[in-house]
Amino acid sequence: MADGYHGGLDVLLDGRRLSPVQQRIADYLGEHLDEAIFLNSVELAERAGVSQPSVTRFAMVLGFAGYPELRQALRPLVLGGGVEAPHESLLRGAIDCEIRNLALLRERLSAFPLKELGEQLAATEPLPVLGLRVSCGLATTFAYYARRIHPDVRLFTHGGSELADGLHAARRSGAEWVVAVVLPRYPAEAVRALEYAGELGLRAAVITDRPDFPAEVVLDAPVGDRLVFDSHAAPLALAMALVEAMADAAPLRTRARLDEYERMTGETGTFLPGDRP
pLDDT of residue 80: 60
AA letter at 228: V
E strand or H helix that includes residue 116: helix 114-123
CA-to-CA distance for 116 and 268, rounded, in angstroms? Answer: 36
Q: Whose CA is closest to 139, among 206, 203, 198, 192?
A: 206
Contact 100, 124 (CB under 8 A): no
The rounded Cα 152 to chain-centroid distance in angstroms is 27
pLDDT of residue 8: 60
Q: Whose CA is closest to 114, among 179, 195, 173, 202?
A: 179
DSSP 151: S
AA letter at 57: R
Contact 46, 14 (CB under 8 A): no
Please report, in tens digits, the pLDDT of each residue of the chain (277 residues total): 444 444 467 777 776 788 999 999 999 988 888 888 888 899 999 999 999 999 999 988 888 888 888 888 888 777 665 555 666 666 777 788 898 899 999 999 999 999 999 999 999 999 999 999 999 999 999 999 999 999 999 999 999 999 999 999 999 999 999 999 999 989 999 999 999 999 999 999 999 999 999 999 999 999 988 777 889 999 999 999 999 999 999 999 999 999 999 999 999 999 887 656 5
The 8 Å CB, 24+ separation contacts for 189-197 are 189/132, 189/159, 189/160, 189/163, 190/130, 190/131, 190/132, 190/133, 190/135, 190/159, 193/130, 193/132, 193/156, 193/159, 193/163, 193/164, 193/167, 194/130, 196/164, 196/167, 197/128, 197/130, 197/167, 197/171
In terms of Cβ atoms closer than 10 Å to its own Cβ (0-12, 13-18, 19+), residue 164 is: middle
Structure pTM? 0.71
CA-to-CA distance for 34 and 47, rounded, in angstroms? Answer: 13
Residue 153: what are its φ and ψ, rounded to 5°? -110, 125
Task: Report whether the peptide linkage leading into residue 151 is cis, meaning its omega lies within 30 degrees of zero.
Answer: no
CA-to-CA distance for 33 and 6, rounded, in angstroms? Answer: 9
| Strand arrangement, sheet containing 203-208 | 153-156, 127-131, 177-182, 203-208, 217-220
Contact 146, 125 (CB under 8 A): no
